[in-house]
Structure 1
Amino acid sequence: MAVTFSKWKTPIKEQDPGVRRSNFGEVCLGYSVKEGMKESERCLQCKTKPCVAGCPVAIDIPGFIKCIRDGDMAGAAEVLDKYTNLPAVCGRVCPQETQCEELCTVGKMPGFEPVAIGKLERLVADWKYAQEKAKTANAPVSAKGKVAVVGSGPSGLTVAGDLAKKGYEVTIFEALHAAGGVLIYGIPEFRLPKSIVKMEIEAMQDLGVKIECNAVVGKNITMQEIMEEFDACYIAVGAGAPHFQGVPGTTLNGVYSASEYLTRINLMHGYEFPNL
């Protein structure tokens, strides 16, 4: 069979280096729908779907890409919603090059790049959030029970969203002043804008997920109180504390771990420079 598509991924727009050197805005600007449709034509729609095996949440990747190819963006969004609660986040920061794209059949062809699966996922998510927000009916809360989630990072948010879709009543307890965990304080603004994380979280709240910020479990509320009120508790506190290697000088003033450095910049809005 003759190959009729490009060997290379469809080029994606980025901020001009002369512009981005003076701001912390997102560098990658994403595909337009037209560009996404062009890239989606590179997908072979393999019956074996090897890319799905490389996805941690087993998204029907050929399924949502086919919808893009057919111009059915709403259908593509519906497919993603069945598998992931964080498509706009994952489309930006997941290491697709070592997951789904690494197993892409097109990428296995000599001289060919894999389909830009991550960029297409981002396109669909961004398209969905750009539409006029439809009134979302909360998932019906059944007699399945109440679940507490401690921590609102990617793990906690994923569990909360999945449980809400199944009809559970979910409450997230977050120690910081805003939900998002490492998505908010551990990733630079130019890589993952805070506004994107906020939209993903609001989508979960539309499903009925409750979020209590400034709630330090063990101080504001105890685990005993949580287990008395809820039927189950999922603990997703993350790995916020760094592990130093004992290198001399690490305790000196001005020496920061990578996590502390990013946390300071993000929580103190350093990315708003020079408009602080």
Structure 2
Amino acid sequence: PADRYKILPQDMPAQDPVKRRSNVNEVATGYTETHARLEAMRCLQCKTAPCIKGCPVQIRIKDFIAAIADGDSKKALAIIKENSLLPAVCGRVCPQEVQCQQTCTVGLKFKDPTKAVSIGRLERFVADLDQNQDSVPSVAPDTGMKVAIIGSGPGGIVAATDTRRAGHDVTIFEAFHKTGGVMVYGIPEFRLPKAIVQKEIGILTKMGVKIVCNFIVGRIRTIEQLMKEDGFDAVYIGVGAGLPRFMGIESESLVGVYSANEYLTRANLMKA
């Protein structure tokens, strides 16, 4: 462990500030293999793996990091995808600093969470290497059960993945004309490129998940109709928290004053 403590944290490469001020491309450009392997070597491979306790989906973090250190990125990605279909997304926007990295032994040693092993950056590294590949999770034999997923945001995608893996017939119903939920309408391009979100969602269709856009459940069909008339055995509701919370201050209802939700939706989905 003493030798590993001496390895410096690897900074995330980024666009030059002069160049990025004139574009909306992603600011962070991602680790190189050298960056990734050095950062992975900082991991102590703790027996108790406290980082896993901080991960909401319980990814085998120390195992995928060990695979990166060994130069086996395919194995690392396979380990991540046991629990998460969205490594390229989560590696970018998941708040690791208050989850898995907060409990990292290295960060605790230095009493500085910014010096913890950069788990999110390593997750992004292996996911980005797979962007041009067609790795698709295996699907169990057909169970004959039908599941409706309402909403194609992160919750809906995870639910669809897990139920499809189990062999169920899955259909996602999305109210908007584009899939992705908050990942598409609520996060700007320079933070999370839309193409990456669509690539991750594309894996669902390759798994056999059906996606229906412009479908407002409750208006076009009710949940009761989906179950009693359309033959769905279960319905997962993942519509998100899309309504804004206003502060009740003077003039907030004037024309031209937008909530953050509406502003981001207009900018990201409607280009308005």
Farther-moved stretch of structure 1 (103-112 vs 147-156): 103-112
**What letter is aligned with 1:85?**
L
Distance 2:184 2:99 in 1: 23
Percent identity over the alignment? 50
Q: Go from structure 1 to structure 2 and tell me whether the alpha carbon gap of 1:8 and 1:257 turns closer, same or farther (over 3 Å shift).
A: farther
Unaligned runs of 5+ in 1: 271-276
1:125 aligns to what? 127
1:122-177 residue CA offsets vs partner (Å, 9 max, x unmatched): 1111112233x35x586244225110000001111110011111111110000111
Question: What is the aligned length?
Answer: 268
1:149 aligns to what? 149
2:232 aligns to what? 230
1:169 aligns to what? 169
Q: Go from structure 1 to structure 2 and tell me whether the alpha carbon gap of 1:257 and 1:8 turns closer, same or farther (over 3 Å shift).
A: farther
Report how far residue 220 of structure 1 moved.
Answer: 2.3
Unaligned runs of 5+ in 2: none
Q: Does 1:92 align with 2:92?
A: yes
Report how far residue 34 of structure 1 moved.
Answer: 2.2
Q: Go from structure 1 to structure 2 and tell me whether the alpha carbon gap of 1:207 and 1:253 turns closer, same or farther (over 3 Å shift).
A: same
Report how far residue 268 of structure 1 moved.
Answer: 2.3
Farther-moved stretch of structure 1 (240-249 vs 14-23): 240-249
CA contact (8 A) 1:5 1:41 kept: no
TM-score (norm 1): 0.92
Distance 1:143 1:261 in 2: 43
CA contact (8 A) 1:137 1:206 kept: no
SS at match of 2:9: coil
Q: Go from structure 1 to structure 2 and tell me whether the alpha carbon gap of 1:61 and 1:144 turns closer, same or farther (over 3 Å shift).
A: farther
Q: Does 1:265 align with 2:267?
A: yes
**What letter is aligned with 2:255?**
N
**What letter is aligned with 1:222?**
T
TM-score (norm 2): 0.94
Q: Go from structure 1 to structure 2 and tell me whether the alpha carbon gap of 1:4 and 1:246 turns closer, same or farther (over 3 Å shift).
A: closer
Distance 2:243 2:110 in 1: 44
Q: For the aligned residues, what is the CA RMSD?
A: 1.6
1:273 aligns to what? none
Farther-moved stretch of structure 1 (179-188 vs 244-253): 244-253
SS at match of 1:119: helix
Q: Go from structure 1 to structure 2 and tell me whether the alpha carbon gap of 1:27 and 1:248 turns closer, same or farther (over 3 Å shift).
A: same
Distance 1:166 1:140 in 2: 5
Farther-moved stretch of structure 1 (107-116 vs 32-41): 107-116
Of 239, 245, 248 in structure 1, the residue corresponding to residue 247 of structure 2 is: 245
Distance 2:232 2:2 in 1: 59
CA contact (8 A) 1:7 1:111 kept: no
SS at match of 2:22: coil
Task: Summarize the alignment of residues 1-276 of structure 1 with structure 2, pairs less than 5 Å apart.
Answer: 2-6=2-6, 8-110=8-110, 113-131=115-133, 133=134, 136=136, 139-143=139-143, 145-228=145-228, 229-269=231-271
Report how far residue 8 of structure 1 moved.
Answer: 3.6
Distance 1:32 1:139 in 2: 32
